[in-house]
Amino acid sequence: MANFNISELLKAARGGPVETLLTNGRVVDLFTGRIHTEPVAISQGHIVGFGDYKAREAIDLEGRYLVPGLIDSHMHVESSLVTPSQYARAVVPRGTTTIITDPHEIANVCGLKGVEFMLADSEDTPLDMLVMAPSCVPATDMETSGAVLEAEQLAKLSHPRVIGLAEMMNFPGVIHGDPRVLAKLESAIGRLDGHAPKVSGKDLFAYTVAGIESDHECTTPEEALEKLSVGLYLMIREGSITKDLVNLLPAVNHRTLSRCLLCTDDREPRDLIDEGHIDFAVRKAIRHGLDPIDALVMACLNPATYFGLSRKGAVAPGYRADLVATPDLKEFSAERVFKNGKLVALNGEALWQAGGADTSAVTGTVHFAPLESSSFEIPAAGTHAHVIGLIPHQLVTENLVCEVKSENGFVVSDTDNDNLKLAVVERHHATGQIGLGLVHGFGLQEGALATTVGHDSHNLIVVGTNDADMLCAARHLKEIDGGLAVVNHGKVLATLPLPIAGLMSDKPLEQVRKENYDVSQAAASLGCRVENPFMILSFLALPVIPSLKLSDHGLVDVDKFRVVPLFCH
C-alpha cells in the first residue's frame, strides 16, 4: 500500500487544495445506508472530505453511484489458473480492489518460495493482494504434498501483506488438540480463518474455543445460523462449483448482517471473464431479495472490518480512495474503477499493463515415477465397493456402495452405470504411490481426463473409461510440466498447460480462458455432463471435505477421517 503524509492529508481535509474531486456522483454511505450527492475530495490516494474543494482535477461522475472497491474475503488465486498479475486484469475491471488470498495451493507444491512468488507477482498491480499464511501444508497426513510447513516455517512469513492464518482445514486436529496444529494457531498473528464443513455441536464448540473466527463451508441456513450463534463470521461463498449464496441468504437478517461476508473461494477464468467476481455475487444476492446496500456491506465494509483494514470498505474521510462508479445499484456493474484515487479500469477494460515475477523457482514440479497401464489396475477383491458420488454444485460428496464391474479379475469402468476408475498419482517426490478408486457422476462414455490441480496437495488426478487413455493423459501432463488434458483412443484432444507449479499458466488471461473452454468442450464431447469437470476432478482429492475422497494414500472416509478399504466386506 502507498505511503502517505498525514500532515499533508490534514491540510487537504481542512480545505485543500486536493488532487482530485469526484463531482455529480451519488455517494453510497454504508455506515448509515444514506445516499448523498456531495463531491468527494481525494489526496494521496485517500478520501479527505466531502463538499467544495479546489482540485487539480475534477471528474464528473454524471450521476453514477459511488461505492467502495469490492473485497473478496476468502479465495485462492491459483484456482483461476493464472498468475496474480493476470488475475488482477480479470477482477479489477469488475470492481474488486482487494482480495484476501490463501496461497496454500502453491505452498503445497513449492513451500515458502511459492508464497514468495505470489507476493512478488502481485506487487505492481492495482489490486491489493493480502495473504493469509497457509495453515495446512499438507491439509492432512493422509496425502503427500510437495512441501511441509510447520509453525516454525510459517513464522518466516513476515511480510506487511501477510495478515493472519488461513483456513484451518484440519478441523479434527484442532478439535482433538493435535500439538502441531495448535502450535500454528498459538503462534499466528492476525485473524484465524476456519474451514469446518458439517462440524456441529460440541465439536464446533471445541473448534471455536481454539480461536477460529470464521467459516466459509456452510451449505444450509441451519448450519450457517449455528456457526453464527457460536460467534463465527459467516463467509458466504459463490464460486465456480460451490454456489452457496442463494441457500444461505435466509440466514442473513438485521441481526446477522454485520457478521456476514461474501467470498468466491475458487473461480475459473471462464466465470471470471463471462460472469464476474464479487460483483457477480452482489448482483445475484440482490436478484434474490437482498437489499443492494446490505449486499455492498457484505462485499466491502464487513470484510474490511473483519480483517482490520481500517482504511478500506467505505466511502468516508480517511479511507482509501478505492472506488467504483456504477450506473445502477441493483444491476451492479463497474463502469469506472479507481485505485488509490487513480482511474485503473473503464467499462470493463484494464488501463494498465500486466507485469509479472520470475517463475524459475516455481516451475519443473511434476515428478512422478514411471507409469504403465498396469499402474491403474484394481484387483477385484469383492462384488461391491465404496464409490465417490458427485453432488451438483457442491464439494461435498456421497459415500455410495455400488456393484463393481470386473473383467479377468480386475475392476473396469462401468460406463452404463457411470462408475468410472479414478487415480491419484503422487507427483512431487516420484514415490510411485498411487491411490485407486471409483467415482459416480461424470458421465464419460469414452476417454480420460487428467489434471495436476488436485486439491490441496496437488498430486496428479485422472478419471477415465479405460487404463490406456488414463496412462496417455498422465504421461502427457508430465511432458508439459503440468496442466489439464483430455484424451481419447490414445490421442490428446485438448490441453491447458500449467507450468507454474502445475497450477497456473504463464500465458495471458484471455488465452487461458480459451484453453480452459477448449478442454471443457473436449470433455463434453466424450459424454462428460459436469459443468466444470476439471475443477470438480481437482476436489476429489481433498480429504478434508466430506464424505468420501481419494488421495495418493487411498480412499479416505472424511467423516471418519481415515483411509478405508475400497471394497465392502
- Full set of structural domains in the chain with CATH: 69-313 (3.20.20.140), 363-564 (no CATH)
For residues 470 and 164, what is the distance between their CA atoms, to the nearest angstrom?
Answer: 40
pLDDT of residue 7: 95
**pLDDT for the residue 354:** 85
Dist CA 25 CA 27 (whole Å):
6
Cβ neighbourhood burial of 57 (10 Å; 0-12, 13-18, 19+): exposed
Whether the Cβ atoms of residue 236 and residue 256 lie closer than 8 Å to each other: no
Nearest to 118 by CA among 185, 151, 166, 152: 166
Question: What pLDDT score was predicted for residue 1?
Answer: 43
Other Cβ atoms closer than 10 A to 416: 8
End-to-end Cα distance, the chain = 59
List phi, psi (to 5°) of 364. 65, 50
Yes or no: say if 255 and 275 are a contact pair by the CB < 8 Å rule: no
Give me the helices (H) in 331-465, please: none
479-483: long-range contacts (C-beta < 8 A, 24 or more apart)?
481/363, 481/364, 481/365, 481/366, 482/365, 482/366, 482/452, 483/451, 483/452
How high is the pLDDT of residue 393?
84
Q: Residue 16: its pLDDT value, please? A: 79
Residues in the chain, pLDDT under 50: 1
Q: What is the overall mean pLDDT for the chain?
A: 97
The residue among 241, 227, 332 whose CA lies nearest residue 290 is 332
Q: Cite the beta strand spans of 361-415 per DSSP E.
A: 384-389, 398-403, 405-407, 410-412
Q: Which three cell numbers stand for residue 425?
A: 498419482
For 511, half-sphere exposure in the C-beta direction (CA atoms, 13 angstrom radius) is: 12
Check residue 377 and give left, alpha or beta (phi > 0: left; psi -120 to 50: alpha): beta
The conformational region for residue 10 under phi > 0 = left, psi -120 to 50 = alpha, else beta, is: alpha
pLDDT for the residue 373? 86
Q: What is the pLDDT of residue 3?
A: 74
**Residue 4 has what pLDDT?**
86
pTM for this model (two decimals): 0.96
Residue where the block lists cell 457411470 = 418
Question: Degrees (nearest 5) of the Cα angle 357, 93, 313?
Answer: 95
The grid coordinates of residue 466 equal: 479405460
